Copies of this chain bind each other. A is one copy, B any other.
Amino acid sequence: MKFNVGIIGCGSITRFRHAPEYKANPHVEEIVFYDRNIERAQRLAEEFGGRVAEKLEDLLTDSSIVAISDCSSNEAHHINTPKALESGKHVLCEKPLAISVKHAKIILEAERKSGKKLMIDQNQRFTKAHQKAKEIIQSQELGEVLTFKTSFGHQGPESWGVTKSNATWFFKKDRSHSGVAGDLGIHKIDLIHYLLDDEIEDVHAFHGALDKVDEHGKPIEVCDNVVCALKTKKGRLGTASFSWTYYGAEDNATTIYCQKGILKIYHDPEAQLIMEMNDGSVVKYELEQIQTNDNQTNTGVIDAFIDCIVNDLNSPVTSREAVASLKVVEKILGSSN
């Protein structure tokens, strides 16, 4: 079974993840690129093969196209994704699903009506270490989960992307909306929901722009750090830290404390998952290299999306899950500061 796919928006995320991973997938016949700036679409069509759609409508009405990635900017998701769904395409929408829970609901309504599959690109779920951790937690081998800690932090987005300057859109209120909370935090919130099969219900947080400055040397308009105390529906307690000001090695670590032992994920670069047990035993899983900004390998996301279409499975990351994470981000930002 082979079919065509379309991509809306031809920026970095398309170039580094969607285009190469679609190209490598055996079910994808051809990629059709669309961007408001047609030259950007043409450049990717040259680089990865495939063709260009001049207008968005051309993409949506092309019956050879079965699935579409919505890689448009965040404030356009609630416009483009519903259009694609309603045109009868399955959609993989970039995270965050929308700039607010309110906007997200528009998307969910379109999904419901269209009956098509909608997946959100939460790639942390797909790393081998996170999947093995999930498997161990589900097996109850360590008993119930009691508490957790999670972090996501690096030296900041201004050293990433094409521009490499403090004028980056990540630092602008109108484009980034939620700063580090939406950029990094939403990944780990989704991960905690996934690993614990639970949902964060109560959030206590502080956030602030502690160090980053814009191109004029002024403190940025969005938060560069978030610290949270969290409580889930099932009563687990945890902390989370999201930061653009970890001026050393990137930190993507999570620790899950259970009744019979501890799971340490991404603490040790050689053993991505370590299980410490209450009898002193230690099991070290050497599974992979973590997905960092410097090390872009196949995320598994595209393959999972295509697989759910081909085999008519449920979406591996549902819109309901994405909304749950989005709600937590809203609570973080709504916290007293």
Contacts and interface: CB of A to CB of B under 8 A. Distances in A.
Interface of A: 128, 146-147, 149, 151, 153, 155, 202, 204-208, 210-211, 225-231, 235-241, 243, 245-249, 257-262, 271, 276-278, 281-288, 335
B278 A155 contact: yes
B229 A243 contact: no
B257 A237 contact: no
A230 B226 CA distance: 11
Contact of A237 (B202, B227, B277, B282): B227
19 contacts: A147-B245, A206-B237, A207-B237, A210-B236, A210-B237, A225-B237, A226-B237, A227-B237, A228-B239, A229-B229, A239-B240, A243-B257, A245-B257, A245-B259, A247-B258, A247-B259, A248-B278, A281-B285, A281-B286
A287 B281 contact: yes
Please state the number of chain copies in the assembly: 6
Nearest to A275: B248
A258 to B, nearest CB: 7
A240 B225 CA distance: 15
Task: Report whether over half of chain A's contact residues are helix, strand or loop; otherwise say mixed.
Answer: strand
A241 B239 contact: yes
A128 B230 CA distance: 33
Contact of A260 (B228, B247, B257, B276): B247
Contacts of A277: 247-248
Contacts of A231: 206
Given A248-B276, A248-B277, A276-B249, A243 B208 contact: no
B227 A206 contact: no
B271 A284 contact: yes
Report, nearest first, the 6 A-B pairs whose CB atoms are least far apart: A248-B276, A204-B204, A248-B262, A239-B239, A247-B278, A284-B284
Contact of A206 (B229, B262, B271): B229
Nearest to A142: B247
A196 to B, nearest CB: 13
A55 to B, nearest CB: 43
Contacts of A128: 281
Contacts of A278: 155, 247-248
B227 A230 contact: yes
A147 B247 contact: no
Given A281-B285, A286-B284, A247 B229 contact: no
Contacts of A205: 204, 229
Q: Specify which of A146, A206, A210, A229 lies most central, judged by the most chain B CB atoms within 10 Å of its CB.
A: A229
A135 to B, nearest CB: 11
A235 B257 contact: no
Q: Specify which of A153, A238, A257 lies most central, judged by the most chain B CB atoms within 10 Å of its CB.
A: A257
Q: Specify which of A204, A225, A227 lies most central, judged by the most chain B CB atoms within 10 Å of its CB.
A: A227
Nearest to A278: B247
Nearest to A262: B248
Given A206-B229, A227-B229, 7 more contacts: A147-B225, A147-B243, A204-B335, A281-B285, A281-B287, A282-B285, A284-B284
Contacts of A261: 247-248
